[in-house]
């Protein structure tokens, strides 16, 4: 019925990108995905499900994170509208971080993923051992 080869991709790329399509290289959803699935992004989102916390609290909770990466990752998540930052203008700085409603939705999905991995870890490691021992 139709031409097999059309001069333009179907439904316009721009439209796909506006809707969100992770398979399209230029889609901004790739950027968001990058922040969310970044090394520390996942951990922070899960950590923040425990409620409002301060910078140093998060630093202590998330093992191995540096101050630099904590600050940077929080800024990404804030820019994407997932975390809210409230700075109290007091003398030793006091800043509180929490999830926005949007962030809470997201964090649930992320935690589901992280929990699944933790739960299945023995099974995963077992599969790895089978492979290494040449089974």
Partner DNA sequence: TTGGGTACTTACCTTTTCGTGCGTACTTAC
Partner DNA sequence: GTAAGTACGCACGAAAAGGTAAGTACCCAA
Give the residues lining the site for DNA (CB under 7 A).
Answer: 34, 38-40, 54-57, 64-69, 71-72, 74-75, 85, 87, 91-95
Q: Least distance to DNA from the beta carbon of 4, Å?
A: 14
Strand partners, 88: 94
Helix (H) or strand (E) holding 102: helix 101-132
- Name the site residues for a second copy (rule: CB under 8 A): 18-25, 28-29, 32-34, 36-39, 42-43, 46-47, 61-64, 79-81, 102, 105-106, 109-110, 112-114, 116-125, 127-128, 131
Q: Find out whether 96 and 54 touch, Cβ atoms under 8 Å.
A: yes
Strands 83-88 and 53-54: unpaired
Nearest to a second copy of 95, 114 (CB atom) = 114
Q: Least distance to a second copy from the beta carbon of 46, Å?
A: 7
Kindly tell me the burial class for residue 79, based on how many C-beta atoms sit within 10 Å of its own C-beta (0-12, 13-18, 19 or more). Answer: exposed
| Closest to 98 measured CA to CA, from 79, 73, 78 | 78
Q: Least distance to a second copy from the beta carbon of 88, Å?
A: 20
Q: Least distance to a second copy from the beta carbon of 22, Å?
A: 5
Nearest to DNA of 24, 95 (CB atom) = 95
Q: Phi/psi at 131 (nearest 5 deg)?
A: -65, -50
């Amino acid at each position: 019925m139709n031409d097999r080869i059309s001069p333009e991709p179907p439904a316009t790329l721009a439209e796909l990108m506006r809707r969100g399509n992770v398979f399209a290289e230029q889609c901004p959803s790739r950027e968001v995905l990058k922040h969310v699935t970044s090394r520390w992004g996942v951990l922070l989102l899960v950590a923040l499900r425990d409620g409002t916390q301060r910078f140093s609290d998060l630093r202590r909770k998330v093992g191995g994170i540096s101050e630099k990466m904590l600050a940077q990752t929080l800024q990404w998540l804030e820019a994407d509208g997932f975390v809210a930052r409230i700075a109290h203008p007091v003398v030793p700085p006091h800043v509180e971080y929490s999830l926005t409603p949007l962030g809470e939705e997201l964090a649930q999905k992320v935690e589901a993923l992280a929990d699944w991995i933790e739960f299945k870890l023995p099974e995963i490691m077992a599969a790895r051992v089978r492979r290494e021992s040449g089974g």
